[in-house]
Amino acid sequence: MSLPTPLINVMDAAARKASRRLVRDFGEIEQLQVSRKGPGDFVSEADRRTEQVLYDELSKARPGFGFLMEEGGEINGESGDERWIVDPIDGTTNFLHGIPHFAISIGVERDGNLIAGVVYEPIHDELFWAENGAGSYLNRKRLRVSERSTLADSLIATGIPFGNRKGKKSFIAMLNAVMEKTSGVRRLGSASLDLAYVAAGRYEGFWETGLSPWDIAGGIVIVREAGGLVSEINGRNSMLYGTSIIATNQHIYDPFRKLLMDAVRDENLKLTE
């Protein structure tokens, strides 16, 4: 078993401190969910408060780092080449509805490359973490991606475009193809946890389009250090700032990516349509 590195310890401490009030807030939101106006306002404040704690703690530990945050935007750091990428509540809609499936996600970017990540699910006290070259872990247990080698045996996670977001037609095409060829599809509403679950072997694969960097920064290194593969659906490696992401074990990466690309091509669509 590898001990957490100093960088992981910083993220661990910040996430756990921020989660204490967040868990109390979650108890309150369960009581507020009958109100139409109250929960939305409450969750917005919970997002801001959680992000502020993360900002304060991470800044204190690494004062030279910059930030890219869901609520607070981009803040340049003194070093210029290192920054935290933070999502205070990944799974806000679940939080809003009293569903205990959400996470704090923190990634570390250095010179444009992700080098470490933490995804902390506070309700069940599950800390997924990884740093380049140090392995991937759930609390102190080493993680490895699933060894299932066929699409027919694979359980796949995804996210569904909602509201006025682009990508609905291509998503339906891909979903139809995935449902036909795999053992099932899950949509649980937190991309960072979807990635962590791929690393833990709970899913064989995950795909989604239209995500923001803070949705996935914490989970990408966790998948890779667990032996998985991560890219854009078209195979490019710029998924952090691109338009899509796919994460799988090594066995199904090629057939799964081909399945998604063929589904879109057969409907004469682009990935973002």
The 10s digit of each residue's pLDDT in 104-139 is: 999 999 999 999 999 999 999 999 999 999 999 999
* pLDDT given for residue 37 in this prediction: 41
Tell whether 136 and 30 lie within a shared domain: yes
Tell whether 212 and 240 lie within a shared domain: yes
Lowest mean pLDDT, pick from 54-58, 89-93, 200-204:
89-93
Global confidence as pTM: 0.94
Contact assessment for residue 273 and residue 169, using Cβ atoms and an 8 Å cutoff: yes
Mean predicted confidence (pLDDT) in 249-265: 96
Asked if residue 272 is part of any domain, the answer here is no
Residue 11 has pLDDT above 70, yes or no: yes
Residue 12 has pLDDT above 60, yes or no: yes
Residue 43 has pLDDT above 70, yes or no: no
Q: How confident is the model at residue 79 (pLDDT cuts 50, 70, 90)?
A: confident
Tell whether 170 and 131 lie within a shared domain: no
Tell whether 195 and 135 lie within a shared domain: no
Which residue, among 195, 210, 201, 110, has the nearest Cα to 160 in the 3D structure?
210
d(CA 230, CA 243): 13
Mean predicted confidence (pLDDT) in 212-236: 97
Tell whether 137 and 20 lie within a shared domain: yes
Asked if residue 157 is part of any domain, the answer here is yes
Contact assessment for residue 85 and residue 211, using Cβ atoms and an 8 Å cutoff: no
